[in-house]
Amino acid sequence: MNYFSSDFKLGILGGGQLGKMLLFDTRKFDIQTYVLDPSNEAPSRMACNQFFQGDLMDFDTVYNFGKKVDVLTFEIELVNLEALEKLENEGLKVYPSPKTLRKIQNKGVQKDFYAANNIPTAPFERFENLDNLKSKINDLKLPFVWKCTEFGYDGNGVKIIREITDLDSLPNVECIAEEMIPFKNELAVIVCQNPSGEIKTYPVVEMEFHPEANQVEYVICPARIDEKVAEKARAIALNVSQNFNHVGLLAVEMFQTQNDEVIVNEVAPRPHNSGHYSIEASYTSQFENHLRAILDLPLGNTDSKVAGIMVNLVGEEGFSGNVVYENIEKILGWNGVTPHIYGKKETRPFRKMGHVTIVNSDIKEARKIAEDVKNTIRVISK
């Protein structure tokens, strides 16, 4: 099929920053794009050919949108699965497949999948709701990690339970209690695969988290780990992707334990925060490779050209309203520093508003500059 400068239409469910960055590559290749998002001010609106406002969880909205396009993909997992399944059954190419998404969308189902397929993961127990968990609290060892099975994102829907009273503020929804694993590092590997079976992994990245917000502050590529651990992480990520029979991008988040075992935390079947560094640091960005994968084109080189570190730009505590990026002109004067502003007009505490990539031949120098960036730029409001 001729995708380039033609009548072909690619549909994207979700118009947030991931969609906006994916659209950079559709524009580079002159591929027509339709985007559906609930917000009239979605970041992707400025960059697609046609924008539709609507609820991603509404069957009719998603189904009718899918009928307008030739291939359908998504940048967020919270979409109506039944509509995707009906579209796929009627012959529309939907990547990743709703069969894959069904195993991932609910974290309880996702964890059961790992257990059934001998994929290493932290021991866990599923509960139909918080009351059910509380009734069995004496069987659980504190501390443990509580996760709601649906609608969690960016640290929302995850809480470390150190005392029983920590449960009091949580919603009464389906959840899992996961054994707390003492780990050395949080790692991630992005796998891309096309329908023809070509499959590649990006290098292992290391993630440094904000202690309160449970959000990634820095993504470091390559991860500062032993080569044997890196090989193990890439092999596990490949195995996970093949078990899910996944097409497109799959971000596999993992823990490196104290004795250098690697276990899977969770996955995301889409471009991911842990791969943003690839826009500047890799031969082929994660976004371009997602596009290549879902269109069944040859995959691009996933190697890094240079060491890369990504810093998330999140809304500063105590500020809500029209956004201001304080001191952005200062960091623009530094070598190897590239800000990406997502196009969200309103900031609020810890909201992801952008990111900055730092590239440098020396990873230690890059990490130092990343800290300077973090301490210089502030996302505040007028």
Has 107 been labeled as part of a binding site?
yes
How far apart CA 364 and CA 87 sit, in angstroms, is 49
Has 368 been labeled as part of a binding site?
no
Phi, psi of 38 (to 5 degrees): -70, -25
Has 1 been labeled as part of a binding site?
no
Has 199 been labeled as part of a binding site?
no
Burial class (CB in 10 A: 0-12, 13-18, 19+), 30: exposed
Has 200 been labeled as part of a binding site?
no
How far apart CA 141 and CA 81 sit, in angstroms, is 35
Q: Do 310 and 285 contact (CB within 8 A), yes or no?
A: no
Has 180 been labeled as part of a binding site?
yes
Residue 317: C-alpha distances to residues 30, 223, 329 (Å):
40, 29, 22
How far apart CA 191 and CA 201 sit, in angstroms, is 4
Has 380 been labeled as part of a binding site?
no
Q: Do 225 and 187 contact (CB within 8 A), yes or no?
A: yes
How far apart CA 306 and CA 308 sit, in angstroms, is 6
How far apart CA 96 and CA 198 sit, in angstroms, is 15
Has 178 been labeled as part of a binding site?
yes
Q: Do 338 and 364 contact (CB within 8 A), yes or no?
A: no
Closest CA to 308 of 225, 218, 229: 218
DSSP state for residue 45 in the 8-state scheme: G
Has 371 been labeled as part of a binding site?
no
- Residue written as token pair 């991630």: 188
Binding-site positions for ATP read 107, 147, 178-181, 186, 265-266
Binding-site positions read 107, 147, 178-181, 186, 265-266
